[in-house]
Chains A and B, each alone.
Chain A
Amino acid sequence: MATTIHLDVVSVEASIFSGVAEYVIAPAVMGEVGIYPNHAPMIAKLKPNAELRVKVPEQDEKTLIFVSGGLLEVQPGVITVLADTAIRGQDLDEARVLEAKRQAEEAMKHRSSEMDYAKAQAELATAIAQLQVIEKMRKGKVIH
């Protein structure tokens, strides 16, 4: 029996893969790395939008796992891939920051963009409040 290594691929939204592998080929930022059992401890950043190739024992085909970036940790015996669910990058993240700030400023400027929805909701809320008042009155036996 060939020696194997345990592989966990997790993202914040779901656990993607968990099982044993003979070896793993991972797309690190500085080039692909192949990891066999008893590899030295390593932490690497993964390239965005790349594939993780996993050789599962007793399967000829390699399993492909798509990752949009993340981090790879190798311990003797365990590989952990912390996969991103969003595509990351300095510029992209920077753009997201600006967007979030801009939206906040905009919201501070004009505060009544979703008026119709708010109105409908207010009406429903009033209806519910009325029902609650009626309920209270009923319990207090002061009906009509």
Chain B
Amino acid sequence: MAGSKEIRTKIKSVENTRKITKAMEMVAASKMRKAQERMRHARPYAEKIRNVAAHLSHAHPEYKHPFVVKREEVKNIGLIVVTSDKGLCGGLNTNVLRLAINQMKRWESEGRGVGVTTIGNKGLGFMSRVGANVKSQVIGLGDAPHMEKLIGPVKVMLDAYVAGEIDQVHIVYTRFINTMKQEPVMEQMLPLTGDFLTVDSKTHAHDKVTASDVVQSVMQMGVAQGYWDYIYEPDAAEVVHELMVRYIESLVYHSVAENMASEQSARMVAMKSASDNAKNVIGELKLIYNKARQAAITKEISEIVGGAAAV
């Protein structure tokens, strides 16, 4: 029975691979749900901050925080690259990194310097391999993003921005559209762009605050007549700065949360197709194995019959 032993070992090894991919698929499916939930939970915070910041700018139209001031000349650019810690999630990281690298190349051909902050193992590995200027990094985020871990790396960028070392900050991550579809996107973070400082009427309606209409009208009256301002504790500049920093951090947090949801669903899909492939391969190998076995048995019988006839 030539080859049947090899076929058997091959079947075994494919079966083992399938067990792993199947398990990973199931793990990813359950993690995905949680990751999506986390992504949704991050939204109200960013909305509230935006509203507060919008109120602030109404109360203080003349005060401009550095984060909202657009710079004339953009010499250096900071890029935050959000990737996953682990692989085996299809083309997720490859797509994000490709987008990042293309943009970096374009910036560099325009004579702009690029500093990178990486979030996630894959991005760090890639960026240090290609020799990018990695200013800060964080890896090992686990299944849930924690603000605690993001503060440091983000502050590196914010400090560099305030100090004038970089004039723009962008972030690149994978946006979660649905389970089957994720898309790498790049967004500008700093300076904050136009729609940031407008009170979002949608979020107000969604607040379900009975008094919110009253608040709105009181505020508009106040703004129109210019007589109201906040009481600040400890002082205006500090409070505004804290608010801005938190807003940026919440944006980064949200991107990371979204990236994680994308990662899990991409992994689930990749593992599912791998399991399906393995299943097909096993079926085919079994067919070949059985054919070989059958052929061997037939051969043996015909030998016996032939031998008996000769006697």
Question: Which residues of A does B touch, CB under 8 Å?
Answer: 5-6, 8, 10-15, 28-30, 33, 40-45, 70-71, 73, 75-78, 80, 82, 84-86, 88, 93, 95-101, 103-104, 107-108, 111, 114, 121, 124-125, 127-128, 131-132, 134-135, 138, 143-144
Q: How many A-B residue pairs have CB under 8 A?
A: 188
A71 to B249: give the CA distance in the assembly, Å.
Answer: 14
B153-166 vs A, Cβ < 8 Å mask (1 yes, 0 no): 10110010000000
- Residues in chain B near residue A144, CB distance under 8 A: 288
> B225: shortest Cβ distance to chain A, in Å?
14
Cβ-based interface call for B141 (8 A)? no
Q: Which residue of A lies closest to B136 (CB)?
A: A100
A127 to B270: give the CA distance in the assembly, Å.
Answer: 13
> A61: shortest Cβ distance to chain B, in Å?
25
- Residues in chain B near residue A42, CB distance under 8 A: 230-233
Q: Which residue of B lies closest to A103 (CB)?
A: B137
- Residues in chain B near residue A96, CB distance under 8 A: 151-152, 155
A54 to B125: give the CA distance in the assembly, Å.
Answer: 48
Task: Give how many B residues have a beta carbon under 8 Å from the other chain's beta carbons.
Answer: 76
A64 to B46: give the CA distance in the assembly, Å.
Answer: 24
- Residues in chain A near residue B288, CB distance under 8 A: 144
Question: Which residues of B does A touch, CB under 8 Å?
Answer: 14, 17, 20-21, 38, 41-42, 44-46, 48-49, 51-52, 55-56, 59, 86-88, 117-118, 121, 124-125, 128-129, 134-139, 144, 146-148, 151-153, 155-156, 159, 207, 209-212, 214-215, 218-219, 228-234, 238-239, 242-243, 246, 249-250, 253-254, 270, 274, 277-278, 280-281, 284, 288
> A9: shortest Cβ distance to chain B, in Å?
10
Q: A-side binding surface: helix, strand, loop or mixed? A: mixed
The contact sample of 5 A-B pairs, CB cut-off 8 A, is: A12-B46, A41-B59, A43-B243, A77-B212, A104-B137
- Residues in chain A near residue B118, CB distance under 8 A: 104
Which among B20, B86, B277 is the interface contact of A132 at CB below 8 angstroms?
A: B277
Q: Is B17 a contact partner of A127 (Cβ separation < 8 A)? A: yes
Q: Is B246 a contact partner of A71 (Cβ separation < 8 A)? A: yes
Besides A15-B41, A86-B148, A124-B17, 15 new A-B residue pairs in contact (Cβ under 8 A), listed by A number:
A10-B45, A10-B48, A42-B230, A71-B239, A73-B52, A75-B215, A76-B218, A77-B209, A77-B211, A93-B152, A93-B155, A104-B137, A121-B87, A124-B88, A131-B274
> B267: shortest Cβ distance to chain A, in Å?
12
Q: Which of B86, B231, B238 has the most CB of A within 10 A?
A: B231
- Residues in chain B near residue A104, CB distance under 8 A: 118, 124, 134-137
Q: Is B280 a contact partner of A82 (Cβ separation < 8 A)? A: no
- Residues in chain B near residue A29, CB distance under 8 A: 233-234
Q: Is B125 a contact partner of A111 (Cβ separation < 8 A)? A: yes
A6 to B210: give the CA distance in the assembly, Å.
Answer: 8
